[in-house]
Amino acid sequence: MFNTDRLKERIIEKYGTQKAFADALGVNKSTVNRYLSGREWKGKNLLKAARLLDIPAEQIDAYFFEPKVVKRQPTGAKV
């Protein structure tokens, strides 16, 4: 799973809504929702999305593949 917060912000900045971005990308809003829930992008959609969002190639990892940090309880912690 990936942290998509930065990508979501960029979509809103450039398109105003996820629906408008989905339309520009040529996919359903539900497809964009799946991508933004942390699932991996398909190659051609990833490259098109980066182009639509003006994300340079060297920054793709930072927007699309930022690892999601999961906070866990220390071992032996009382709940």
- Residue 68: what residue type? K
Burial class (CB in 10 A: 0-12, 13-18, 19+), 59: middle
Answer whether residue 75 is part of any domain.
no
Q: What is the overall mean pLDDT for the chain?
A: 89
Answer whether residue 69 is part of any domain.
no
40-74: per-residue pLDDT in tens? Answer: 788 899 999 999 999 999 999 999 988 877 777 66
**Domain count for the chain:** 1
Answer whether residue 72 is part of any domain.
no
Answer whether residue 50 is part of any domain.
yes
Answer whether residue 19 is part of any domain.
yes
Burial class (CB in 10 A: 0-12, 13-18, 19+), 35: buried
Domain that holds residue 55: 5-64
pTM of the model: 0.82
Answer whether residue 37 is part of any domain.
yes
Can you give the CATH number for the domain in which 30 is found? 1.10.260.40
Answer whether residue 74 is part of any domain.
no
